[in-house]
Structure 1
């Protein structure tokens, strides 16, 4: 029997070629070589398809693993961001609460100063005697709501642009009628024609000031 591959002579009972090892069978004929080649090609194609399937499965596995890692990381990042936002919000709320409590504490600790800071000179009068040597009296109205509060009053008197006194700072209490009654420390040789009033709280903080033009005669003049 001739080998269909290398045409070597083999015994009729041989199953394989003694030279090239090609399988020998009863169907060996003119097309035996082509059949063998086709079989080998089909085997190679099958092996290639198997490799392609394995590679495709590996790619799918990698993609799925990457997607899982991304989803896990994104979820964790979103959770951390939400926690950071909540933490910032809580901190801001705490700061606002602390500021509000601090403002309340400051406000509660200075009730008198807050009240005095709103005190203003609302009007009044100046009175002099019948002679230049008489003292000058000032009645300054600040409002009955300040009754009993302690303040300091300073009044500068002048005549023709010349000062008549040094403007002593006089402590005083607001009367129940809302007035401050201030008497000049000295009598003057001339009737004043101008007066400047300065009003301070008990800590010498300026609250208000007012200037008044006067007629240089005796009597009471209102402003």
Structure 2
């Protein structure tokens, strides 16, 4: 140990300084040891401070990470909401298209497939050999409609023609004008009218009794 008076080195078991004779106490502390001890204490304090600072930094980093995750979660939710919006708009468009289609179907008018013989007249010349003319009224609402007309003429129960099927179009006045294909040797006393649509579907038929003479006869 060192002498507290002259700082001379002495054995740890010496009771007096070998240089100046100062009494040495076992409780005397080596100055260097005190310095080292103080240094060790300071080192320990510094280590503790470093650990505390490191923990504080870690805590700050973790807090920042949690805050970022929380904000990202909110952003994701917003993104999800914004992504859902176009889908809703597309659905609206689909519904609009469906409504437009349904409206078009309601607006579209079905093709008229029925027509009735409402009246008309038959005309013949002054001779038996003159052709017979038929005017058949089906209504002005059917103007421009394509149909097929078949008329059988007969006299005393005997056929005067073969009943050809004649394509015709309803005139603006609602009439069909049909001329017999041939002249007959006798005036017809009966006519049977068959009215077909353009697909040869029978729509109406009418039987007309005639006087076997020339001129115009209405029915």
Under a length normalisation based on structure 1, what TM-score does the superposition of the two structures give? Answer: 0.47
Q: Which has the larger radius of gyration?
A: 2
Under a length normalisation based on structure 2, what TM-score does the superposition of the two structures give? Answer: 0.47
